[in-house]
Chain A
Amino acid sequence: MLERIVAVMVKEVRQLGRDRLTFGMIVGIPLMQMLLFGYAINFDVRDLRAAVVDEARTSLSREYIAALEASGVVRFVAPSAGVPELQRRMSAGEISIGIHIPRDFERRALDRSRPAAQLLVDGSEPMVDGVARGLTAVPLPRRDGQYASAVPLLELRTEYNPERRTAVQIVPALIGVILNMTMMIFTAAAVVRERERGNLELLITTPIRSAELMAGKLLPYVGIGLVQVTLVLTVGSLLFDVPVNGRLLDLYLAALLFIASTLTLGLVISTLARTQFQAFQLAFFIMLPSILLSGFMFPFDGMPRPAQWLAQVLPLTHFNELVRGIVLRGAPLADLSRPAMKLLVFLVLALAIATMRFRKRLD
């Protein structure tokens, strides 16, 4: 039995070594995604282009504009003559934020019942609105104690990521996204390819058992998955200074559980797909909700209920919880038993479905 599993493993590894594209993807996908997500995606938005219409033209209004610019959120481009021009420039995509300071700015500033100035925000872009809201908290420059206190009510302290760097949030979660994508696609393709090319028809007539065939095919990918985890962690630490606060062993155990789950998911896909193309389509069909709903990009708690339920079915949701807990919050695996158990349940169910559907027969 072991002999046959080893035979299949040797064959798989040989074929993998010869399939340059797949081999390149094992390393290429993690690197590409790391660079892409690590550098390009940035949730702490800065330097939004803004234009101002200053109808007041007083020293107070100028100081106020300077205070806004000092926040670093906006970068002022040429001012506009009036609000209609401001709106036109926004619709042309020239600016994301417009600030209108009315003629009676000074008087309004004293009157606490009315806002002193107006902020125009481009709502068509994600994130901008939320960031701009932060601008409304910028206090008016103090002058002889005339104005309201500038001390904010709440002090904000960001735990586990004090510098609020997006890479710190994104990179650990990328482990899951990358594993999810590669494991699922590779296994599904590896099994479906053999069906497509007729190899399976031959294999079925040999003494090999389905379980041996599956184990031999999947085990090499477990190794590949662990290599990918190591790669992401290393690059994350070198390029983006992402720390691993928890125990490495815990992280690898969690990764192993997740790898097993996604491989099995790939296996289920392979029993549904007739061609490699269908397998890719199915994998993609799972990939997209995984990225969007798993809490990788958007906070899980903010999603509507049905989306949250759907996310429970996706293994990436639970792994993201595990990986963020271990890598960033330094939590021991024992404290994360809920997501770990959910992942385990997923694995067992998927395995049952895969074995039920994978029969050593053609019909």
Chain B
Amino acid sequence: MSGEIIKGGSFLVEAVEPQNVFTPEDFTDEHKMIADTAASFVEGEVEPVIDDLEEQKDNLMRELLEKAGELGLLGADVPEEYGGMELDKISSMLITENIIKGGSFSLGHGAHTGIGSLPIVFFGNKQQKEKYLPGLASGEKLAAYALTEPGSGSDALSAKTKAVLSEDGKYYTLNGSKQFITNAGFADVFVTYAKIDGDKFTAFIVDTDTEGLSLGVEEKKLGIKGSSTRSVIFEDAKVPVENVLYEIGKGHVVAFNILNIGRYKLAIGCIGSSKLALQYAVKYANERKQFKVPISSFGLIKEKIGMMAARIFASESMAYRTAGMIDDMLHNIDMNAEDAGLKTAEGIAEYAIECSINKIHGSEVLDYAADETLQIYGGYGYTQEYPAERIYRDSRINRIFEGTNEINRMIIPGTLLRKAMKGELPLLAAAKKLQEELLTPSMPVEDTSFLGEQKQIVEKAKKIVLMVAGTAAQKYGQNIQEQQEVLGKTADLVIETFAMESALLRALKAYDAGGEEAAAMKGLLAKIYINDSIGRMDLWAKEALAAIEEGDVLRTQLVALRKLARYNPINSVAAKRQAADAVIAAEEYVV
């Protein structure tokens, strides 16, 4: 961590120095030990019973979560005065990444510690915190988060559940139902939402033993079968007024802030799963012989392994960079203040763009890694005898929950434009400057430093984003919300820019610290990633521009784009082989 607060989304308009980003190479000894404890716990306690967990055998998830609680694995984000560990976000991410081997266990853990407990951590009043947090941190009480309704998923604020204040003013009567609620089957506490007087969307803490609360049957799902998913039904459920969470009519503040956190945590879980998938894939590819040689010696298999490693590298670099930014922000908050929780949530909301970027990238890299892993296993991958099948099924949900990737693709440009309009980000000035720059002829200058060419590509990628976003904003003005496809392409350009830059900065930081040898593999992975991404960015930018403009204006834009997207392709075949060879030798993801 650099200690310096970086504004959310500012990477698009500012040059970022390698020493100002947090990378996995910066983990402290404590970070590593925490990661080890999480990993050993899952290997020792969860993996041996994973088949039973998949079948949701009696109370098993609950028992495992309680055991995790004894080790402190549920309290990382809970303040010390309420029985938690109050660790930094890097530690909390390392726990999430390292429990991933437990399959559905990680879902139960994530729902409890993240979206289940955090609303109370951030928005609870003193009495609520005292009542709930010690139990939630120890595992004595388990939590679930109930936002989605049968008729309101992405459009969360259109919820129909109602809350009516009793005549004596002592309790609210809730009526309505919530759907797809993770941990519902065993949770003691639900954080849920209902509208008071028909329009005041409000958060509530509801105990499971509340009269009038009942549960639906377990959903039969494609994957994450060990995770309990049920509906929660409120029929004249009486909830005491002291269980209103935060302010009446401010439920959206709670809901949206919690989702930001859910998103970057989901990303790191996906990265853990992707690494695991790669490890399985490469071990199998080394064992499996065809034509008398291990299939890991074939070019088309190496290509998959090399590309998986490069994409995981980018995703991992992005997620820890984001966590580092959040930690820097949180260090400046007085954690003893009454409103520390709210300030924390607001601090994290500053990085809403990065949270959405990570969520999309992490979940899509995982789907890619799961798919290629299954492919490497061939016919065996399609059977339940091997782990590829479960990884493939389990991965799919990640593009759907915590805000679909489509919703998150709308959030990225939407938030950027809002920040630009409010003057929080100098996007408009930068776009204007770019327009002038594009009209002045210039000669390319060669940068011969370590990853010099990649630095130039990333710098130009930011300009591609500005050009496309600027053109779209100018053309559509207030009506831009109706151009989802263009916004989606813009989001993709932003995501790839952040991904390329994060991979690059991590390799550069390693180079600054340890020279060429220490940064060799990281540099190689960054090169593979950037080479692949810039080509795709060029296509997306063309598609967006062709949708926005036409005729001469379009032609001028395309000439400018050609200048920005120009790069010398690396020998990516050789690079991917080289990266794959290192992964094949180590039989796991290595950097």
Partners in one complex: no
Chain A contact residues, CB within 8 Å of chain B: none
Residues of B within 8 A of A (CB): none
